Amino acid sequence: MARTPTTADSFNAVADASRRRLLDALATGEATVSELVDRVGLRQPQVSKHLAVLREVGLVLVRADGKRRWYRVNGPALQPVYEWVRNFERTWNTQLDRLDDLLGELQSQEESK
Amino acid sequence: MARTPTTADSFNAVADASRRRLLDALATGEATVSELVDRVGLRQPQVSKHLAVLREVGLVLVRADGKRRWYRVNGPALQPVYEWVRNFERTWNTQLDRLDDLLGELQSQEESK
DNA sequence: TTGACGTATTCCTATATAGGAATATAATGC
DNA sequence: GCATTATATTCCTATATAGGAATACGTCAA
């Protein structure tokens, strides 16, 4: 069996560094394909192809305006990724571990009232 | 050119659903390969192979114990992923947008004092 | 030593890229 | 209509999988 297709979900789409850079370039707002070509430094066909992948998984939305296409980030498509990694926050942040412990204690005290 | 190797970084390693499930199974603490085979439902060779990928990008650490191998999550390797997605939090969470605005205002007021 | 258990590795193959190059499609102005 | 600009698509190829199957390796007990 081959690797999971890049268009399978946000996890796979976002694994590619070029696509992450495209999303970064869109983080501040809308942009056209030409603008993205300039900002990211990829050739136009590659940008269009990457955008097609991002579109397919719902990570970006497009708006037509004459011959231009205004692309923008579609936040919610990134949320599953965020939620998944967030579960591991405590594995690298000891301060948050302590906070977790504290909250757990408070909850226990609350429940035992 | 081909796709970025799965062993290139955490983004690519984590794109695979089986590997995410392995990490989930390790989220609560150490586990041996056999335990992971039971929990995740993959065959032993595939588990070992996925663990090899996770090892290579530093997402897991191993501890030898006789013929057993105790695997555990190495949190910091996930942090880059977390940091990257976190930048887009505001694109899906309007409450945080408002919080951002509020903080921005407070900062402006502070600076204009 | 031998056998058994736990884990890792090798070989195989279908599949899916990513980028380069060329070209197609669409919209606009003259 | 025609040239021009903006974007999308097609064709090509080297490369890297993921899983199945078989097997090798390492450790321990009797």
Q: What is the pLDDT of residues A70-90, one digit of tens each?
A: 999 999 999 999 999 999 999
- To test the contact with chain A by mutation, choose from B43, B85, B94 the residue with the greatest count of A C-beta atoms within 10 A, namely B85
Closest CB to B84 among A4, A20, A90: A20
pTM equals 0.83
Query: How many whole angstroms from its chain centre is CA A8?
Result: 14
Non-local CB neighbours of B59 within 8 Å, separated by 6+ positions: B10, B13, B14, B23, B73, B74, B77, B78
Question: Within chain B, what is the greatest distance between any pair of CA atoms?
Answer: 67
Q: Give chain B positions within 8 Å (CB) of A75.
A: 88, 90-93
The reported pLDDT for the residue numbered A1 is 84
Here the tokens at position A85 are: 């990694």
On whether any CB of chain B is under 8 Å from the CB of A26, the answer is no
Contact B85 A88 (CB under 8 A): no
Q: Which stretches of chain A drop beneath a pLDDT of 50? A: 108-113
The reported pLDDT for the residue numbered A109 is 47
The reported pLDDT for the residue numbered B9 is 97
Residues 25-84 of A with CB under 7 A from strand C: 42-43, 45-46, 49-50, 53, 64, 66-67
Res. B100 pLDDT band, cuts 50 70 90: low
Report d(CA B31, CA B65) in Å as an integer.
Answer: 12
Q: What is the mean pLDDT of chain B?
A: 88
Measured from the Cβ of residue B52, the count of other Cβ atoms closer than 10 Å reads 11
For A86, A89, A98, B54, B93, the CA distances from A105, given in Å and listed in that order, are 21, 19, 10, 34, 29
* Burial track A64-93 (b if 16+ CB lie within 10 A, e otherwise): eeeeebbbebbbebbbebbebbeebebbbb
Classify B62 as helix, strand or coil: strand
Report d(CA B18, CA A79) in Å as an integer.
Answer: 19
Q: What is the pLDDT of residues B43-90, one digit of tens each?
A: 999 999 999 999 999 999 999 999 999 999 999 999 999 999 999 998
How far apart are the CA of A15 and the nearest CA of chain B, in angstroms? 5
Percent of chain B with pLDDT over 70: 82
Report d(CA A61, CA A43) in Å as an integer.
Answer: 21
Q: Is the pLDDT of residue B102 over 70?
A: no
